[in-house]
Structure 1
Amino acid sequence: MTVRVLIADDNPVVRIGLTSLLELEPDIEVSGEASSGPEALALAEEHRPDIVLLDVRMPGGGGLDVLPRLAEIARVLMLTYTDEPAVVSQALREGATGYLVHGSFDSHELAVAIRDTAAGGVRLSPPAAAVLLQGMPAAPAAGEGAAAANGGPPTGVDPEAVRRYRLSRRELEIAEQIVLGHTNSEIAQHLFIEEKTVKNHINRLFAKVGATNRSAAVALLLGLREDA
């Protein structure tokens, strides 16, 4: 199945770059480009794309202004440089299916995010996931080796995900750091372990939950998406 994508960004260089990247994907088709929110809405109504890649701030009307109406037409994946907590929260609250921050993904991960969004998944860059996590109540984790069961600190990782994937204490610590958007280096410093060890733990964690990248892992660990 071909996924039809509408790109909405006021920067022509960004639009050209995204179009060039996505044209290399055999199952993704760029159905239009818009430089403002109102233009994106008009094109979406005309072409009925599967996915809208939507920037937040654009002259002549930003993405958030038309997001609720766009979300009635297509699945909306925010694609922006803005990671302000209030903006992320508003976008997710008003209908965005996912939120990607430029610089936190590569071209392959973008294509995967588009396919996953079209299939009903939720894609969040670590900065966006961290914002979502801040609004979630901390819950003691249950299951094999869970930190809370041993008097450890509460975590924002979904307790059901902890049980489903049978996360060990160390895996839960790594998972929490990933959800908070921390880099491998930051995780190593926080847990007082070598960065190489962090990479090994992350590879095992990804294999355990069935994720191929951080945004997919975050969605699974927060319970926003279930593995196949």
Structure 2
Amino acid sequence: MAPIRVVVADDNPVVRSGLVALLEARGEAEVVGEAGDGKHAIELAERLKPDLVLLDVRMPLVDGVTAAQVLSKLTRVLMLTYTDDPEVVRSAVRNGASGYLVHGTFTADALAAAVRDTAGGTGNPLSPAAVSALMAAVQEPRPATGGDTARSGDHARFGLSAREAEVMDLIARGLTNRAIAAELFLVEKTVKNHVNRIFSKMSVDNRATAIARWLGTAVGDR
């Protein structure tokens, strides 16, 4: 199997070289480009067409959150940063990042798995701080709407059924299909069917983008 083609973007050359060495030592990824700022990362992605961009948040010229909005239209983006500010996490996900990992909260094996899953479109890795940020957004109090449930406007907006909205809430909390099935006393295949319909109705193709759209409603599209 061909290695995953990766661009690493981080303004700290020590961190950047460490990531490059770590990824290439495992033989699963080939780092095809390195960038020290978001502008260069975008240029590299446009030219090299990588499978994945590992993207820091705080960088000169164009920051990672802003760059993610452009990069996510070109390839998959995995935020890899020391920044665990909840609003930054939410903004990155809204801008199309497929995952968000905070340095110091994952092992080398977990990073390798995150790279595989994100590049392959089979997972949306989130560090605990990122999960907390997204859950906090879901749980923020909303104005009363004459007795309607807090989610009634949300699922109406996207055309979701009440059950699909319930599943989407659990997706936003970071639960896997298996965990959702256990939570709702459903078989996993039924949950998968619900997820596929949710993605179709919300015009998204992965969990991170679905969460971004859902949270955009939940926090007032700010």
Please state which band the TM-score falls in when normalised by the shorter chain.
0.5 to 0.7
Between 1 and 2, higher relative CO (CA 8 Å, sep ≥ 6) is seen in 2
- How far has the Cα of 1:106 moved from its partner? 1.3
Distance 1:112 1:158 in 2: 17
Superposition pairs for residues 170-185 of structure 1, below 5 Å? none
- How far has the Cα of 1:165 moved from its partner? 3.5
Find the counterpart in structure 2 of residue 125 from structure 1: 127
Find the counterpart in structure 2 of residue 182 from structure 1: none
Distance 1:43 1:163 in 2: 38
SS in 2 for 1:23: helix
Query: Is 1:164 paired with 2:181?
Result: yes
Q: With structure 2 as the length reference, what TM-score do the two structures score?
A: 0.64
Identity %: 49
Partners of 2:58 and 2:64 within 8 A in 1? yes
Give the direction of change, closer, same or farther, for the CA distance of 1:160–1:117 in structure 2 (3 Å limit): closer
Superposition pairs for residues 28-177 of structure 1, below 5 Å? 28-120=29-121, 121-137=123-139, 161-162=178-179, 164-165=181-182
Find the counterpart in structure 2 of residue 203 from structure 1: none
Distance 1:119 1:86 in 2: 27
Give the direction of change, closer, same or farther, for the CA distance of 1:86–1:24 in structure 2 (3 Å limit): same
Q: With structure 1 as the length reference, what TM-score do the two structures score?
A: 0.62
Superposition pairs for residues 10-25 of structure 1, below 5 Å? 10-25=11-26
Distance 1:4 1:159 in 2: 27
Give the direction of change, closer, same or farther, for the CA distance of 1:164–1:88 in structure 2 (3 Å limit): same
Please, what is the CA RMSD of the aligned residues? 2.7
Distance 1:66 1:137 in 2: 28
Give the direction of change, closer, same or farther, for the CA distance of 1:160–1:137 in structure 2 (3 Å limit): farther
- How far has the Cα of 1:161 moved from its partner? 5.0
- How far has the Cα of 1:25 moved from its partner? 1.7
Partners of 2:66 and 2:95 within 8 A in 1? no
- How far has the Cα of 1:61 moved from its partner? 2.1
Distance 1:55 1:43 in 2: 15
Give the direction of change, closer, same or farther, for the CA distance of 1:86–1:20 in structure 2 (3 Å limit): same
Count of residue pairs brought into register by the alignment = 155
Find the counterpart in structure 2 of residue 7 from structure 1: 8
- How far has the Cα of 1:65 moved from its partner? 2.1
- How far has the Cα of 1:162 moved from its partner? 4.6
Question: CA deviation digits over 1:116-173, x for unaligned, max 9?
Answer: 111211010010011011122499xxxxxxxxxxxxxxxx575975562469xxxxxx
Question: CA deviation digits over 1:92-115, x for unaligned, max 9?
Answer: 011000000000001111111000
SS in 2 for 1:116: helix
In structure 2, the gaps of 5 or more residues are: 141-148, 150-172, 185-206, 212-222
SS in 1 for 2:138: coil
In structure 1, the gaps of 5 or more residues are: 140-155, 168-219
Residue identity opposite 2:118 in structure 1: T
SS in 2 for 1:135: helix
Distance 1:112 1:118 in 2: 10
Give the direction of change, closer, same or farther, for the CA distance of 1:54–1:163 in structure 2 (3 Å limit): closer
